[in-house]
Structure 1
Amino acid sequence: MKFENILEEIDGFGPFQIVIIILLCAPRIVLPCHFLLNNFIAALPPHRCDISTLGGDGGLFRNLTPEQRLTVSLPVKADGVPKSCEMFAEPQFQLLANSSGSADLQTVQCQSGWVYDNSTFTSTLATEWDLVCDRKSLLKTTSTIFFFGVMMGAIAFGFLCDKYGRKNTLLASYIMAMVFGFSSAFANSYVLFAVLRFLTGFGLTGISINSVVLSIEWVDTGHRSFIGVIGSLAWSAGNMLLAGFAFLVNDWRTLIMAVTAPLGFAVLTWWWIPESARWLLAHGRVDRAQYYLDKCAKFNKRQKVSSKFKLETLSNIQILEKQDKNYTYLDLIKTPKMRRLTLLTGIVWYGVASTYYGISLNISGFGLNMYLTHFIYAAIEVPAKLMVYWFLNVIGRRKCQAGTLLLTGTCIVINIFLPQGLWHVRAVVAILGKGLSEASFTTIFLYTTELYPTVVRQNGLGYTSFMSRLGVSVAPLILLLEDVWTPLPQIIICSLAFLSGLVALLLPETLSVRLPETVDDIEKPRGNEVSSPSVELSGVFLESKSKTDSSQ
C-alpha cells in the first residue's frame, strides 16, 4: 500500500488542494521580487562631482551661470556630458573661451561628494551611501551577499523541514523573511544593510522549499506536473509585478517594504495551511495525519480514510525504510559513474544559473526603459515555460537542455557584435536569450531528477541546488568586469552557456527510459527499457522537479 492509494480515496486533486495552492501563491510571488530587487534598489543614476562649495568665499563663481560653473570645474566625456568621478584640481576659467585643451588639464577625484540625477529614482543604495566611482562594486556585492544567504538557507532549511515539519518551518521562514526584510529598509549603514539582506535571503529560501513541498505532497501523481507549472508561473507573475512596484515606488526603502508586505498576508493565512500528511506518517504521528486526511476528505466531499490500520502500517513501513536507507552526499562520489554524473550535472547547473541571472541582472544597454525591459524579460518566461514541456517529450531531455543553453549563448554572442545603435534588434535578441535561459532552467530540474537514482535523488538535488546558488552568487561579480572591458561580462556568460551546453551532451538521455532506483543501476550499463507506466515519469520524477522549481 502506498500513500497515493490513500489520496485516491479522498481525492488527490480537489478543492482542498486548490485552496493550498492559493494560500501559497502570495509568498511564492514575493520570491522573485526579492531575488531580482537589486536591479532597482541598487540602480546607479547619472551623477557628477558636487561643486557647490567651490569659489564660495572668494566669489570666483559669482558672475558665472550654472552651466559656466560646470564648464570651468568638470572635465567632460566625448559626448559632452561631465565625467562622473573627476573634477579639475583648480577652476579652469580659460575654458569659457576655448575648451579644446581640456583633455590635458590636471584632474582629481570628487572632493565634496556628488550630485545625482533624481528624475528616475528619488533614492537608491548608490545615492544613500555614495556607492559610486571606486565604491561602485559594493552595489553588485549586495546582490552576491543576498544570494549567499539563499545558498546557506537551502542547506539549513532542507534539514529543518525534514526534522520539524513543513508547516512549522514555513512559519519560521515567513517571520524571518518579513522581519529581516522590513528591517533592511531601515538600515542606517551599508554594513548593516548587507547583513540584513543576507538574513532575508536565508529566510526566503525556507519559503521556496516548504511552499512547493507542501503543495506537491498533498496532490496525486497525475497532477504533480501541473503543480510544478503553477509554482513556476507564480515566479513569473511576481517577476512582472516587481517591474510595476519599482515603477510606482522610486525610493529604495519604500520599495523593499512594498515587496515584503505580502508576507504579512501569508502569516495570516498560515493557520489554514495543513501539515504534510506524508511527513507526519513518516515520523509516526498517525493520529495527526488522520486528522488532516479526514479534513481533506470532508473538504473534497469524499468518505474519510477507511481504516486507521492502513495508516499505521504505512507509517511503520516508511519509518523502517528511512532507517534502512541512510544515504549521504558522499554516495554521490563513491563510485565511478556516480562521480562522473555528479561532476557533469554540477557544471550544467552552475552554467544554467549563471546564465539566467547574468541576463536577468543586466537590464540596461538595449535602448529600452529599464522597467519595460524587466517586465518583458519576465513575461517571456511564461511561453518559454509552457513550450519547453512540449519539446521535452519530442526531442528529449539531453538535446533540449543542450540546445537551450547553446542558443542562449548564441544570442549573447550576437549582441556582443551588434552595434549599440541597433537597439531594437539588440532588445529582441536579448529577450529571446532570456526566454531560452528560462527554458534551460525549467529543463534542468526535470532532467536532474531523472538522472539521479531514487536512493540519492534528494542528495543529488541538494548538491545541484548548491551549485546553482554558487553560480547565482558569482553572476553579479561577473557583471562588475564591464569596468575592465565592456564586453567581458557577456563573453564570460556566453562561454559558460556554451560550456554547460556541451557538457549536457555528455549526459545520458532519460526520455522513455526506465529510471534508476539504486546506485547499482547507474554503475551498470543502462538499458533502453521503456518505463511501462507513464505515471512513473510524470509523477515520481516530476514530484522532485516540482519540489525545486520554485526555488529558482
Structure 2
Amino acid sequence: MAFQDLLNRVGNMGRFQILQIAFLLICNAMLALHILLENFTAAIPGHRCWVHVLDNDTASDIDSGILSQDDLLRISIPLDSNSRPDKCRRFVQPQWHLLHLNGTFSNVTEPDTEPCEDGWVYERSTFLSTTVTEWDLVCGSQVLGSVSKFIFMIGNLIGPFLGGHLSDRWLPESARWLIVTNKPQKGLQELRKVACMNGMKNSGDTLTMEVVRTTMKEELEAAQIKPALCDLFRTPNLRKRIFLLCLLRFTTAIPAFGFTIHLQHLKSNVFLMQCLIAASAIPASFAAMFLLNHIGRRISQFFLSFLLGISMLATVSAPEEMQILCGVLITLTGANIYAVIIGNTLHVNELIPTVIRARALGVIGIATNVGAALTPLFMILAIYSAFLPWIIYAVFSFLGCFIPLLLPETKNQPLPESVQDVENEWKGSRQAKEEGAIIKVTSF
C-alpha cells in the first residue's frame, strides 16, 4: 500500500482521476458501439424470392382485382415448415391449383421448386438498407454474414497487441511505473502534475524525492525482480488460477457476445430492445454489486451464470406472437449479462497478484477474445435449426457457472501482492483443512 500513501498526498480521487476514467469510458464506449452496430448494419430483414408475376414492372397489369397480392404470392412461393412463405425457394411454374381450397387437388404431386435465381425482395419497413440487402447475404450466402462478424471479432483479438504499445503515446505514464523502473524524477513530476490538477497546492512542498524513495522502499526492492510471462505458469497454484480464469472468461464471452451481436435474430424490435437493455444496465450493476458484497464472489457468479442460461433458453422458446413476454425476457437476459461480466471482472482482478496483474489480464483477455471470435461461427448452425446456436450459448453459460466454485473466495480478503502470496494462501488453506481434520479426529 506504499504507493497508495503517495496518492493520498496528491488527491486520491480528484479531477485528474475523474478525467482519466472519463477518457477510458469514452474509449470503451467507442468499441461497444461498433459491436452493437452489427444488429443494425447487418440486420437480416424479411425476404423472399423475386418472382415474375409479383415483382415485374408489368405485374400491376395482372393484379386487376381478380387476384390479390396474397394470391399471387401463394401460387409463386412454397410454404416452409411453419406455413410461411419460403425465404429461399420459389415454384418453377405458377401453381394456379393452390388457389382452390376445396381439396380437389389434394393428390397432386409436389410441384417443382428452384432457388432464387433472380435475386430476392426484401421487407424494408424497418431497415432501408443493410449489408445483407446490399450483397444478398441470405440463404446459401448467409454463412458469409457470420464470417464477416468472425473477422471483426478477430480484429478485437489482434487489436490489444497493437493498442497496448500505441496507448503510451497519448496516455500519461503511470507514476508508479516510472518510480519502480528507476525513473523516480519523472515519477515525481507526474505526481506533482496530478497534485496541481487536483488542487493540492501545498503537497508540492512535502512531496520530495526523499519522501518518494522512503515511501516506495519496499516496492522498489520488489521491483528488482522482474516478473516475466512464464511466471504465470511456474508455480502450481497461480498456474491453476490462470487456467480457470481463462476458462471462466472464455465460457462467459460466448453467451455474452452471442446475445449482444445477434439481438436482431430474436424477432423483436431491435431498436426498442437495445434501449431497454441499456436502461437495465444500471440497476443490473447495482444488483450485481449487492450480491457480490453480501453472498460472496463464488456463489454470486454461480447464480448469475445459471440464471443467464435459463433466461436465454426462455427467450428463444417464448412464442413470437407474445411480444410483451419476449421483450421482458430479452431485457432480463441483457441485464443478466451485465451482472455476469461485473462479477467476472471483479473476481479476476482480486485473484491475480499485483506485480504480474497486467500480464495475467493480457493472457485472460486473449481467452476472452477467442471466445468472442468463435461466437459468430455458432450462428452458422441456424441453417439447420434456429434454436441450435442459442442452446449452445446457454450450455456455455451453464458450464461457466461451476468454474467460480473451483476458485478461492475473495470477499473481504486482502489482495495478493506477489506470486508467493498466492502460493502461501494455498498452503495456508491446506494446512487449515489438515488441522481441522486432526481436531475432528482427536475430539473423540
TM-score range, shorter chain: 0.7 to 0.9
Equivalent of residue 324 in structure 1, options 225, 230, 235: 225
Counterpart contact for 2:88–2:139, Cα < 8 Å = yes
Counterpart contact for 2:77–2:86, Cα < 8 Å = yes
The corresponding residue for 2:197 is: 299
Counterpart contact for 1:327–1:455, Cα < 8 Å = no
Structure 1 unaligned residues grouped into runs of 5+: 171-213, 215-273, 529-552
Aligned partners of 2:286 and 2:72: how far apart in 1? 57
Aligned partners of 1:44 and 1:353: how far apart in 2? 23
RMSD across aligned C-alpha pairs, in angstroms? 3.4
Counterpart contact for 2:10–2:195, Cα < 8 Å = yes
Matched, 1:340 2:343: no
Residue 142 of structure 1: how far off its partner (Å):
2.0
Q: TM-score, normalised by structure 1?
A: 0.67
2:92 is matched by which residue type in structure 1?
A
Question: In the superposition, relative to structure 1, how do residues 78 and 523 fare at CA in structure 2: closer, same or farther (>3 Å)?
Answer: closer
SS of the equivalent of 1:121 reads: coil
1:82 is matched by which residue type in structure 2?
P
Matched, 1:42 2:48: no
Question: In the superposition, relative to structure 1, how do residues 432 and 285 fare at CA in structure 2: closer, same or farther (>3 Å)?
Answer: same
2:142 is matched by which residue type in structure 1?
K
The corresponding residue for 1:509 is: 409
1:358-410 CA-partner distances (Å, limit 9, x unpaired): 22233246664111111112221211112222222211111111111112122
Counterpart contact for 2:75–2:95, Cα < 8 Å = yes
Counterpart contact for 1:366–1:424, Cα < 8 Å = no
Query: Which structure has the larger Rg over C-alpha atoms?
Result: 2
**Which stretch of the first structure deviates more once superposed, 333-342 or 137-146?**
333-342
Equivalent residues in 2 for 1:416-435, closer than 5 Å? 417-435=317-335
1:38 is matched by which residue type in structure 2?
E
**Which stretch of the first structure deviates more once superposed, 96-105 or 110-119?**
96-105
The corresponding residue for 2:13 is: 13
Q: TM-score, normalised by structure 2?
A: 0.82
Question: In the superposition, relative to structure 1, how do residues 149 and 486 fare at CA in structure 2: closer, same or farther (>3 Å)?
Answer: same
Question: In the superposition, relative to structure 1, how do residues 414 and 523 fare at CA in structure 2: closer, same or farther (>3 Å)?
Answer: same
Aligned partners of 1:127 and 1:93: how far apart in 2? 30
Residue 136 of structure 1: how far off its partner (Å):
0.8
2:41 is matched by which residue type in structure 1?
I
Aligned partners of 1:39 and 1:519: how far apart in 2? 43
Counterpart contact for 1:482–1:489, Cα < 8 Å = yes
Equivalent of residue 147 in structure 2, options 141, 148, 156: 141
Residue 78 of structure 1: how far off its partner (Å):
6.2
The corresponding residue for 2:126 is: 120
Matched, 1:438 2:338: yes
Counterpart contact for 1:286–1:311, Cα < 8 Å = no
The corresponding residue for 2:442 is: none
Counterpart contact for 1:45–1:116, Cα < 8 Å = yes
Counterpart contact for 1:75–1:103, Cα < 8 Å = no
1:461-480 CA-partner distances (Å, limit 9, x unpaired): 22221111111112222233
The corresponding residue for 1:382 is: 282
Equivalent residues in 2 for 1:67-466, closer than 5 Å? 67=69, 69-77=72-80, 81-95=84-98, 104-158=110-164, 160=165, 166-168=167-169, 170=170, 274-286=172-184, 288-302=186-200, 303-306=202-205, 307-310=207-210, 313=213, 321-328=222-229, 330-364=230-264, 368-415=268-315, 417-466=317-366
Aligned partners of 1:483 and 1:29: how far apart in 2? 33
1:139 is matched by which residue type in structure 2?
G
The corresponding residue for 1:51 is: 51
Question: In the superposition, relative to structure 1, how do residues 527 and 379 fare at CA in structure 2: closer, same or farther (>3 Å)?
Answer: farther
Question: In the superposition, relative to structure 1, how do residues 514 and 487 fare at CA in structure 2: closer, same or farther (>3 Å)?
Answer: same
Residue 286 of structure 1: how far off its partner (Å):
4.8
Aligned partners of 2:23 and 2:240: how far apart in 1? 41
Aligned partners of 2:409 and 2:121: how far apart in 1? 57
For these two proteins, the number of residue pairs brought into alignment is: 419
Counterpart contact for 2:43–2:264, Cα < 8 Å = no
Percent of paired sites with the same residue: 31
Counterpart contact for 1:367–1:427, Cα < 8 Å = no
Structure 2 unaligned residues grouped into runs of 5+: 430-444
SS of the equivalent of 2:114 reads: strand
The corresponding residue for 2:433 is: none
Counterpart contact for 1:6–1:305, Cα < 8 Å = no
Aligned partners of 1:317 and 1:516: how far apart in 2? 15
Residue 316 of structure 1: how far off its partner (Å):
9.5
Aligned partners of 2:323 and 2:22: how far apart in 1? 40
**Which stretch of the first structure deviates more once superposed, 351-360 or 509-518?**
509-518
